Structure 1
């Protein structure tokens, strides 16, 4: 992270950036990335013990729409009003809430799966640890937790998309803005996922790389 004085505002900074780029975020939905993501969603669906799914950090709703299209009951949320407008415009019958990752426990009921794709790395590492615990609590027995995380070390703000960011030059031109990211080494990440059994793991090949994990809720934390 840049400095401790930045820490309290990292979520607000991310929200401001996503609000500003929401209209153009669709450029990241490249055919390669969508094919990869939809295969990952189908694997997630195959593991589920039921049909109720939560999508935190839903962005423009592209994953939520696909999850719904394969017969799942989807509740989605984001903190960016701009992203939520995009999601609701494309899916007016969907359930889209405005909520902070750190407030997941406020949601009513339990879920058979939580699909957290490309979002939880916007939390600080202590916040992420708390969020994982909340996700465990919100999952039904044998519920499935999917997450994709960035590989590396430390926490920092970044201003522009990297060289392998989906959407290439167009994304680099249109999606500028200060965003906070936390990076993890595999052992560090796995230590934070107690209470879950690993069902499947793979490296993210499209985009900028990282980890994809499919986890089953097991013993009490």
Structure 2
């Protein structure tokens, strides 16, 4: 993940936490309810303050919450003292074992990766997903000319290229959409993918 972006999250964790407490990603929760495999292990990649992890846990998922920012994880541990948090980051996800999650949520993370990290991130998101498991990926862009907002990187991610990377990594696209968030004037891209069994040789 972009080091400057992590630094911003670390420095501004308390302020960002206050913002995120009142934001409810209703559409992501709808996609989870429709596509995730109920009751199975779930990774929340880029968990932030643990808001979505807490919701997933209430839905019956066994959640592992992962974030690159220690500052955000400190906020998350205060808000959710009984949850399981790990400091780890894309593109490598070094601490996560192969095929260890049936469900993987990666919301508002991959746009914080540099262009040359995206393919590696896709490979590792698929790597940690179990066969027949489901991934939900959500990201947005920015209107800023330098692709940064308050110091945080927002890379330009082309949907067709991203889907192609996931397809090459062994998944099938189940759903894609553009979700316009009118109150914040933001356009989110959401995709849902299923990990396929390896091809027989």
Gaps of 5+ in 2: none
Q: Mapping of 1:190-205 within 5 angstroms?
A: 190-194=163-167, 195-205=170-180
State how far apart, in whole Å, the 2-side matches of 1:43 and 1:197 are. Answer: 16
TM-score of the superposition, structure 2-length normalised? 0.84
1:131 to 121, 140, 157: 121
| 3-state SS, counterpart of residue 104 of structure 2 | strand
CA distance in 2, matches of 1:49, 1:41: 9
Q: Which has the higher strand share?
A: 2
RMSD over equivalenced CA pairs, Å: 2.4
Q: 1:122 aligns to what?
A: 112
Q: Pick from 64, 71, 81: which aligns with 2:70?
A: 81
Q: Where does residue 27 of structure 1 map in the other structure?
A: 19
Q: CA deviation at 1:29?
A: 4.4
- d(CA) in 1 for partners of 2:157 and 2:32? 23
Q: In the alignment, which residue of structure 1 is the partner of 2:97?
A: 108
Question: Secondary structure, in 3 states, of the residue corresponding to 1:140?
Answer: strand
Aligned residues: 191
- After superposition, residues 1-221 of structure 1 pair within 5 angstroms as 11-25=2-16, 26-30=18-22, 33-45=24-36, 48=37, 51-108=40-97, 110-151=100-141, 156-159=146-149, 177-194=150-167, 195-206=170-181, 207=184, 208-220=186-198
For the residue of structure 2 that corresponds to 1:77, the secondary structure is strand
Please identify which structure carries the higher helix content.
1
Q: Is the 8 A contact 1:59 1:84 kept in 2?
A: yes
Q: Is the 8 A contact 1:49 1:142 kept in 2?
A: no
Cα distance, 1:55 vs structure 2: 1.1
**TM-score of the superposition, structure 1-length normalised?**
0.77
Q: CA deviation at 1:52?
A: 0.4
Whole-angstrom CA distance in 2 between matches of 1:152 and 1:81:
25
Q: Secondary structure at the match of 1:108?
A: coil
Please tell me whether the aligned partners of residues 131 and 197 of structure 2 are also in contact (alpha carbons under 8 angstroms).
Answer: no
The verdict on how the C-alpha distance between 1:103 and 1:84 changes in structure 2, with shifts beyond 3 A counting, is same
SS of match in other structure, 1:134: helix
How many angstroms does 1:41 deviate by?
A: 2.8
RCO higher in structure (CA 8 A, sep ≥6): 1
Deviation at 1:115, TM superposition (A): 0.3
Moved over 6 A (4+): none
SS in 1 for 2:180: coil
